[in-house]
Structures are given as structure tokens and as C-alpha cells.
Amino acid sequence: MWVSPECHHFWVPKLHTTLYTSTLKRVLEYLYGTRHMKLCLTAEDLENITWWVDASYAVHWDSRSHTGMIMSLGLGVVMSGSWRQKLSMGSSTEAELVGIDDALKYIMWGLYFIQAQGFKVKKNILMQYNKSTILMANNGRFSCTKRTKHIKNRYFMIKDKIGQGEVIIQYCPTDDMWADINTKALQGSSLFYKMQARLMGIDEDYHN
């Protein structure tokens, strides 16, 4: 979750500040306070797999971006990932495309694993809120502009998977981006509890 980018600061001696120490303390208090919270998983069906992939642009001390990934079959998170990107990008659109490439191996593994259990998957859906990234994922370099034509070919592997029918990329409004919680701190308690309910498969008023 969002803990990942914050904990990264403790690997850099110069960033050991009171601010990050206070943040880590709040994280530990949250983990202790929710130690009895159970993860409830529901699968509406195994014909549709839904993935959310998000990237926070230049959030690390060295201007690297951060990728978050979540997979669900209904309510509750079946697979989750949060990691720092390995290279600096020039825009949020590029960071989102790199984030998709980072997550693609898990997206394909999840598809192949469920198929190997004997289930027929009709839709392997990737949710993305950046419309420019969606265009580049669908069309490859045909949707690149002067600002994005330098991106290496390896980051357009998603186009091949879409062309083969193994992945469907769909637009997702920002408020419905489940992977947000894996890349940034969510502002406002109502938004946090709403996202917590989705990820854990619990009621939004669980904390009351």
C-alpha cells in the first residue's frame, strides 16, 4: 500500500526527518488498530478479472515514480503490488505506461493461472484513468506525440496483448481507481474508508 513509498525514505540517511518518523508512527498505529480486521473475498464470477494500475509521478526523492496494482474478482483484493519505478519519466502519462508494463507480467500470470484451473476467462480488464495512456496502450506509437516518441518499444508490449484479446483496457474515473491507495496517501477520511471497504470486502462504516 502507500506505506511502500514512505518506507523508502528510511533507506536514504539524509531523509530521516521528524516528518517521516511521524508518518511511520501513524502507519504502525493504524496497523495495530486494525489488527482484528478480516479480509473478506467474494468472487462474482471467474469469467471476468479486473485489474487497477496507477502511477504517482515523481513522488520519490530521486524523482522516480511509484506504481500501484490491484486485482479483484468481486470484493476484496486477491493480488496487490506497490513498487518504485526503476527509471525517471518525463510526465505522468509516461509514468502510467511504465506502470502498466511493470504490472503486465502479473496481469498475464493471473489470467493464465485461472485458465489453468479449468475456467474460461471472457474478459481480463485493466482499469486506467489516464486517457492519453489508454490511447498509447491501444495504438502504440501511432498515438505518440513529440513529447512521448522517445519511449522504448518494450513499454508497448501491452498493445500486443490487447491485440491478441488477452487484455481489455478501460477508462476508470479517478474516484474509482482502487490502486490509488498503493501509490499515495488518500485525502479525507470518507475517501479512505470507502477505499478500505472495497479492498477488504467490508462495510464502509466498519470503523464506527
User: Domain limits of the chain?
Assistant: 45-200
Better pLDDT: 154 or 150: 154
Give the global pTM. 0.83
CA–CA separation, 208 vs 206, rounded Å? 6
157 or 80: which carries more pLDDT confidence? 80
For residues 36-62, give the mean pLDDT. 88
- Secondary structure E strands in the chain: 42-43, 48-56, 66-72, 74-75, 79-84, 123-128, 168-171
Q: What average pLDDT does this structure show over 145-154?
A: 62
Q: Three cell numbers at 114?
A: 485461472
Q: Which residues, 6+ apart, have CB-to-CB distance to 118 below 8 Å? A: none
CA distance 128 to 96: 8
DSSP strand pairing (66-72 vs 42-43): unpaired
Q: What would the mean pLDDT of 86-94 be, rounded to a whole number? A: 81
Q: What pLDDT does residue 49 have? A: 96
User: Which carries the bigger pLDDT value, residue 131 or residue 90?
Assistant: 131
pLDDT per position as a tens digit, 122-139: 999 999 999 988 988 888
CATH 3.30.365.10 matches 45-200: no
d(CA 125, CA 135): 15
pLDDT class of 19 with cuts at 50, 70, 90: low
Query: How high is the pLDDT of residue 5?
Result: 55
Lowest mean pLDDT segment, chosen from 5-19, 87-101, 128-142, 191-205: 5-19
